[in-house]
């Protein structure tokens, strides 16, 4: 299970946030191509979000971005228009997790899919256009995208610090706790950590978080479930997690 999943991202770039994952062999509906990236429809389970102030009784009040996480720093993956309806799954503060609209597009690198190659593939999808007609129509004969495994080597900045050879690296795990900044730690592996209740100070650190600081900062003080890849450095006694998805918990 450490390398049997493929990241679906909000933008066609490796530095873009991961919205969800697809399992090896999943069939995804293709909608476009942009360079080395392939646009696909999100799986039904994809967690996507809208701001609650724009929705009343499950109806959109004005033009609204659908984002890959509960915050304005997350990328937009679709646009809803006034009068559109949404299916709310859960809430987190001022944000609603909804069922992904049919106009949503996520991106996967070409190395991890088959069935979307050649000049006859659909043209790139522009998310700046709100009209869903901007998404190229999909012919019935269009082959599905077949997902193949994505490898999970340690990020270069972690590998450079030295990985413990006796421990398996890059294992995909799920962690729960409250996100807190790391105020001081010599040669720290990241700027954030997960903590739980306990210890003399009232909290104990369970792991460090190494990822997009802008996104992690939006979760400070909140309880979350982090799914990510676990790495052990020579210099620390706690694992470092490179998040793939972060979901708020009650």
Please check whether residue 140 lies inside any domain of the structure. Answer: no
Where does a domain end: 123, 144, 169? Answer: 123
Domain count, the chain: 2
Where does a domain end: 123, 145, 164? Answer: 123
- Confidence (pLDDT) at 152: 64
For the chain, give the percent of residues with pLDDT over 90: 25
Where does a domain end: 123, 145, 177? Answer: 123
Statement to judge: residues 82 and 10 lie in one domain: yes
Residue 52 gets the label, from left (phi > 0), alpha (psi -120 to 50) or beta, of alpha
Q: Give the confidence band of 4 by pLDDT, cuts at 50, 70, 90.
A: low
- Confidence (pLDDT) at 2: 28
State yes or no: pLDDT of 128 exceeds 90: no
Please check whether residue 197 lies inside any domain of the structure. Answer: yes
Residue 44, judged by CB atoms within 10 A of its CB (0-12, 13-18, 19+), counts as: exposed
Please check whether residue 150 lies inside any domain of the structure. Answer: no
Please check whether residue 151 lies inside any domain of the structure. Answer: no
Measured between alpha carbons, how far is 48 from 101 in angstroms, rounded to an integer? 9
Could you read off the pLDDT of 15-69 as tens digits, one per residue? 788 888 887 777 788 888 888 898 999 887 888 999 988 999 999 998 899 998 8
Please check whether residue 46 lies inside any domain of the structure. Answer: yes
Of the candidates 152, 147, 124, 125, the one whose C-alpha atom is nearest the C-alpha of residue 14 is 152
Q: Give the confidence band of 142 by pLDDT, cuts at 50, 70, 90.
A: very low
Please check whether residue 132 lies inside any domain of the structure. Answer: no
Please check whether residue 183 lies inside any domain of the structure. Answer: yes
Statement to judge: residues 119 and 170 lie in one domain: no
Statement to judge: residues 117 and 166 lie in one domain: no
Measured between alpha carbons, how far is 195 from 211 in angstroms, rounded to an integer? 16
Statement to judge: residues 17 and 70 lie in one domain: yes
Could you read off the pLDDT of 75-121 as tens digits, one per residue? 889 999 999 999 999 888 788 999 999 889 999 888 887 765 544 34
CB–CB of 121/149 below 8 Å? no
Statement to judge: residues 109 and 34 lie in one domain: yes
- Confidence (pLDDT) at 192: 92
Statement to judge: residues 108 and 165 lie in one domain: no
Measured between alpha carbons, how far is 40 from 20 in angstroms, rounded to an integer? 12
What values do phi and psi take at 220, rounded to 5?
A: -60, 130
Measured between alpha carbons, how far is 20 from 6 in angstroms, rounded to an integer? 9
Could you read off the pLDDT of 159-198 as tens digits, one per residue? 888 999 888 888 878 889 999 998 766 667 888 999 998 8
Statement to judge: residues 160 and 119 lie in one domain: no
Whose tokens are 């509960």? That residue is 70
Please check whether residue 231 lies inside any domain of the structure. Answer: yes
- Confidence (pLDDT) at 190: 81
Statement to judge: residues 29 and 117 lie in one domain: yes
pTM of the model: 0.52
Statement to judge: residues 98 and 169 lie in one domain: no
Statement to judge: residues 185 and 226 lie in one domain: yes
Measured between alpha carbons, how far is 219 from 71 in angstroms, rounded to an integer? 9
Domain housing 60: 5-123
Statement to judge: residues 119 and 160 lie in one domain: no
Measured between alpha carbons, how far is 141 from 112 in angstroms, rounded to an integer? 21
Query: Mean per-residue pLDDT for 199-209?
Result: 86
Looking at residue 193, which CATH number applies to its domain?
Answer: 2.40.50
Query: Mean per-residue pLDDT for 214-230?
Result: 86
Statement to judge: residues 167 and 116 lie in one domain: no
């Amino acid at each position: 299970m450490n390398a049997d999943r493929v990241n679906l991202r909000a933008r066609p770039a490796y530095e873009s946030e991961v919205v969800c994952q697809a399992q090896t062999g999943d069939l995804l509906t293709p909608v476009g191509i942009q360079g080395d990236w392939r646009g696909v429809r999100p799986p039904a389970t994809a967690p996507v979000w809208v701001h609650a102030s724009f929705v009343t009784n499950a109806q959109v009040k004005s033009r609204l971005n659908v984002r890959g996480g509960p915050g304005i720093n997350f990328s937009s993956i679709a646009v809803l228009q006034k009068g559109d309806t949404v299916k709310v799954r859960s809430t987190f503060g001022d944000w609603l997790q909804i069922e992904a609209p049919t106009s949503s597009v996520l991106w996967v690198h070409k190395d991890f899919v088959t069935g979307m190659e050649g000049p006859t593939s659909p043209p790139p999808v522009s998310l700046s256009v709100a009209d869903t007609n901007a998404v190229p129509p999909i012919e019935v004969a269009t082959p599905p995208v077949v997902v193949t495994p994505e490898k999970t080597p340690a990020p270069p900045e972690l590998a450079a610090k030295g990985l413990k050879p006796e421990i398996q690296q890059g294992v995909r795990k799920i962690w729960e706790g409250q996100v807190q900044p790391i105020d001081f730690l010599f040669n720290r592996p990241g700027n954030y950590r997960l903590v739980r209740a306990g210890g003399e100070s009232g909290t104990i650190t369970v792991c460090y978080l190494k990822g997009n600081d802008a996104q992690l900062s939006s979760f400070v003080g909140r309880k979350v479930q982090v799914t990510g890849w676990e790495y052990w450095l020579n210099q620390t006694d706690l694992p470092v997690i490179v998040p793939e998805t972060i979901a708020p918990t009650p």
